[in-house]
Chain A
Amino acid sequence: MGTLREWRSGGERTLAIFIKSLEGVVTTVELRNEDAVEGKLDAVDAGMNIFMTDVVMHRPDGSSLQLPHVFVRGSQIRYVHVPDHIDPVRAIQGQLNVFHRKPPKRRAKPKGKGPLPSHTVHGNPGGGRGRGRGGITGAVG
């Protein structure tokens, strides 16, 4: 959801980037009208609009509703529950890496002039959260 351009031109400096890093996580989103939407965060865009699947919506009156696919406008979100095992700093950094991932360089033939440049520590310490999901769409079916 959303384009990479939207993220890189502003969305990544909002909290939406943290929510985006939670794609794939099952969690509860509380809305401003106090409904609580519990399910899998499938996709998040730069406006923090979210697409969730396999949802149970809990109403303030105690009733609940099963909803296989849900779309929520970002401005209606009051809270997103973050599971305890998520490290926010790693999650955000990992998501920034995804947005700024450089295309892999062609491996140059060494010309014998010296050692190959050593690469910096790589790999995503965030455990892969959010990797490769920048282009996901929220479409169903």
Chain B
Amino acid sequence: MAGICQLSSDPRPAEGFADSRHEEAEVELYMGEESQGSGTLFILESMVAWWCAERGVGFTLPYRTIVMHAVCRDTAAFPRPCIYCHLDSGELEEGSQDEALSEARLVPSRADALETVFNALSECQCLHADSDVGDDDMMFDQASVAARAAAEARLDSVFQMPTPAQFAAMSNGHPAAAAAAAAVDQVDGQFDDAEEES
């Protein structure tokens, strides 16, 4: 899967982006400390795109490369309100050099656009779960859910709580232990929700 790509032509299709969540014009993009110019930011469901017609330069950023994004109004760090982004353009290894992880800032000329851009980025990020997180536990399609349910049912059948009678038998006739065994059933429902609202 592609990482961050630099563009040399306008990425917009003639009919416009089909999966656009938000478009914001006049957004200055900083890659690290360097301004790339002022262009249009496209928050698409598939990726983030930015295009500066004036300079003929742009970028596309898959969501998995934006490992963190934040509203930043800390003028000590950067003079203008912006969306601060951590980028991870490559495989992140333990103790890797800084070039694998860099910073970008999206600086809209419209200061009240910050929240809208932040929300649009967040919503689209949630559409892009990492495939390297691992497991089939993260698959929510019907087949995987059914497979997990079946596996759980098998586990349940293997682990059987002893019945109170069996507990009593294990207690060698001690009354206290037998009473504790009888109490097991009551403890069972301890974490259930109330069936009736009081």
Chain B residues with Cβ under 8 A from A5's Cβ? 140
The digit string for B84-120, where 1 denotes a CB below 8 A from any CB of A, is 1010100010000000010000000000000110110
Residue on B with the closest CB to A56?
Answer: B74
The distance in angstroms between the C-alpha atoms of A101 and B161, with both chains bound, is 24
Contact status A33-B138, CB under 8 Å:
no
Evaluate whether A10 and B125 lie within 8 angstroms (CB atoms) in the complex, with A71-B70, A97-B191, A121-B190 already known. no
Question: Binding site of A, secondary structure by majority: helix, strand, loop or mixed?
Answer: loop
Interface membership of B22, Cβ < 8 A: no
Given B64, B118, B196, which contacts A140 in the complex, CB threshold below 8 Å?
Answer: B118
Contact status B189-A121, CB under 8 Å:
yes
Given B66, B73, B92, which contacts A68 in the complex, CB threshold below 8 Å?
Answer: B73
Evaluate whether A71 and B115 lie within 8 angstroms (CB atoms) in the complex, with A97-B191, A120-B190, A120-B192 already known. no
The digit string for A101-112, where 1 denotes a CB below 8 A from any CB of B, is 110110100000
Interface membership of A81, Cβ < 8 A: no
Contact status A49-B125, CB under 8 Å:
yes
Closest approach, in angstroms, between the C-beta of B93 and any C-beta of chain A? 10
How many residue pairs link A and B with beta carbons under 8 A? The number is 136
Closest approach, in angstroms, between the C-beta of A56 and any C-beta of chain B? 9
Closest approach, in angstroms, between the C-beta of A136 and any C-beta of chain B? 13
Contact status B68-A31, CB under 8 Å:
yes
Contact status B195-A117, CB under 8 Å:
yes
The distance in angstroms between the C-alpha atoms of A21 and B161, with both chains bound, is 28
Contact status A75-B130, CB under 8 Å:
yes
Contact status A71-B69, CB under 8 Å:
yes
Chain B residues with Cβ under 8 A from A73's Cβ? 63-64, 66-68, 125, 130
Interface membership of A88, Cβ < 8 A: no
The distance in angstroms between the C-alpha atoms of A69 and B123, with both chains bound, is 14
Residue on B with the closest CB to A93?
Answer: B191
Interface membership of B126, Cβ < 8 A: yes
Contact status B119-A140, CB under 8 Å:
yes
Contact status A120-B189, CB under 8 Å:
yes
Chain A residues with Cβ under 8 A from B122's Cβ? 51, 71, 138-139
Evaluate whether A32 and B190 lie within 8 angstroms (CB atoms) in the complex, with A47-B129, A49-B126 already known. no
Given B67, B129, B138, which contacts A72 in the complex, CB threshold below 8 Å?
Answer: B67
Chain A residues with Cβ under 8 A from B67's Cβ? 31, 33, 72-73, 75-76
Interface membership of B133, Cβ < 8 A: yes
Contact status B145-A47, CB under 8 Å:
no
The distance in angstroms between the C-alpha atoms of A90 and B8, with both chains bound, is 55
Interface membership of A70, Cβ < 8 A: yes
The digit string for B153-166, where 1 denotes a CB below 8 A from any CB of A, is 00000000000000
> Could you show 17 A-B contacts with beta carbons less than 8 Å apart?
A2-B126, A31-B68, A33-B67, A33-B101, A47-B129, A55-B70, A67-B74, A68-B71, A69-B115, A71-B70, A74-B133, A76-B86, A107-B196, A120-B192, A139-B122, A140-B115, A140-B119
Shortest 4 CB-CB contacts between residues of A and residues of B: A120-B189, A122-B194, A67-B70, A70-B70
